[in-house]
Amino acid sequence: MGKGTTPLPSLVREQGLNILKAYFQILAACLIWGTYGVFVQKMAYPPEVIVFFRFFFGALFLVILSYFTGRISQLRPSSHTGFLFVIGCINAASWLMMTRSIMYTSVANGFILLYTAPCFVILLAPFILREPFEKKSLLALAVSFAGIILIAGSGAGGLKEYNLWGSLLGLSSGILFALYLVALKKLPSGLLGLVTNTYMSFIIALVTLPLAAPSVFSVTLPDLLELAFMGIMIQAVGTTIYMIGLRKVKAQHGAILCYFEALFAMLFAALFLHERITPVFLAGAVLIIGGGLIIALKRKERSSAAENCRLPKSN
């Protein structure tokens, strides 16, 4: 091995650690996102208003952050701007449908239907992203989804509040969220993070503004501050962390790990909305965590890491 060359096992180990770090970044984003249902249930505003302010304040914070960190030049329009607009519209529709689904049904119902998305991601990824189909992804999906079903039916504000229209909206949000996740992986990895999140947040705020406009000026100052906090934390911080983590993992894995958002959402609902936690709920939580462990601990990354490593040239 020539001078200046890093041993292959070290590179493989380093890449494995980077992937594990990416998993934790996705889980951190899910923890932050999990607070969304509490905000929605506590606010007496149409979903269009909540979604608009979430993305508006998120985008505003990201632009200010970019300016003070000297990264504002990265936000200049590029050849990917049109594609970002399409992705933003898809995500806007998904969040509007999911938010209204929560209002019509419950936090549990809204999240279980949103997270049919990994099912569609696993079906789409091999064809659109050329990701190889993995049996472990299917196993992790089955285990995690079983956990979601248990939690939603455990009485934690769940399936007892069935509403056909709300359920159809929730399922539609799941399909659109799957398209959004797959589309993100079509972008250059360097764009995933602050740049993509800023563009999409502004686009979604722009798309939802006409829908939210009739009610925007009825928002009280205390609620506006709460919406600003939600936008900064959930959209600016949470989504940026998620996109950075998504750079290093497969779309299938990133989608399945998002089941933790539903788990966190229902835990927060139990803490702040007094939705009950039962033994069945806890069993569902164990299954969701088990599905995440299947993804994180049974990786077959060694061979793929070896194939993808680029060794420095010898001097």
Average of per-residue pLDDT values in the chain: 79
For residue 220, give the nearest of 37, 31, 43, 34 by alpha carbon.
Answer: 43
* Portion of the chain with pLDDT greater than 90, in percent: 18
User: Hey, which of 4-8, 105-109, 121-125, 182-186 has the most confident mean pLDDT?
Assistant: 182-186
Exposure string of 212-230, with b = 16+ CB inside 10 Å and e = fewer, is beeeeeebeeebeebbbeb
Residue 188 lies in a domain: yes
Q: Is the pLDDT of residue 309 over 50?
A: no
| Angle made by CA atoms 232, 251, 244, in degrees to the nearest 5 | 35
Question: 3-state SS string over the chain?
Answer: CCCCCCCHHHHHHHHHHHHHHHHHHHHHHHHHHCCHHHHHHHCCCCHHHHHHHHHHHHHHHHHHHHHHCCCHHHHCCCCCHHHHHHHHHHHHHHHHHHHHHHHHCCHHHHHHHHCCHHHHHHHHHHHHCCCCCCHHHHHHHHHHHHHHHHHHCCCCCCHHHCCHHHHHHHHHHHHHHHHHHHHHCCCCHHHCCHHHHHHHHHHHHHHHHHHHHHHHCCCCHHHHHHHHHHHHHHHHHHHHHHHHHHCCCCHHHHHHHCHHHHHHHHHHHHHHCCCCCCHHHHHHHHHHHHHHHHHHHCCCHHHHHHHHCCCCCCC
The answer to whether 113 and 101 are in contact (CB under 8 A) is yes
Residue 282 lies in a domain: yes
Q: Is the pLDDT of residue 157 over 60?
A: no
Residue 192 lies in a domain: yes
Residue 310 lies in a domain: no
Predicted pLDDT at 310: 41
Q: Is the pLDDT of residue 276 over 80?
A: no
Q: Is the pLDDT of residue 227 over 90?
A: yes
**How many domains is the chain partitioned into structurally?**
1
Tell me which of 311 and 72 has the higher pLDDT.
72
Predicted pLDDT at 160: 44
| Angle made by CA atoms 109, 111, 116, in degrees to the nearest 5 | 100
Distance CA 127, CA 263 (A): 29
Q: Is the pLDDT of residue 232 over 60?
A: yes
Q: Is the pLDDT of residue 100 over 70?
A: yes
Residue with tokens 């069935």: 162
Predicted pLDDT at 7: 62
User: Hey, which of 60-74, 198-212, 219-233, 291-305 has the most confident mean pLDDT?
Assistant: 219-233
Q: How confident is the model at residue 60 (pLDDT cuts 50, 70, 90)?
A: very high
Tell me which of 111 and 25 has the higher pLDDT.
25
Q: Is the pLDDT of residue 178 over 80?
A: yes
Q: Is the pLDDT of residue 197 over 50?
A: yes
The answer to whether the Cα torsion of 87, 137, 270, 243 is positive or negative is: negative
Residue 79 lies in a domain: yes
Range of the domain at 222: 12-301
Q: Is the pLDDT of residue 159 over 50?
A: no
Predicted pLDDT at 270: 82
- Out of 34-48, 82-96, 128-142, 199-213, pick the least confident: 128-142
Predicted pLDDT at 298: 53
- Out of 67-81, 148-162, 247-261, 263-277, pick the least confident: 148-162
Predicted pLDDT at 311: 36
44 φ, ψ to 5°?
Answer: -95, 50
User: Hey, which of 87-101, 143-157, 278-292 has the most confident mean pLDDT?
Assistant: 87-101
Q: How confident is the model at residue 43 (pLDDT cuts 50, 70, 90)?
A: confident
Residue 306 lies in a domain: no
Q: How confident is the model at residue 223 (pLDDT cuts 50, 70, 90)?
A: very high
Q: How confident is the model at residue 305 (pLDDT cuts 50, 70, 90)?
A: very low
Residue 27 lies in a domain: yes
Residue 285 lies in a domain: yes
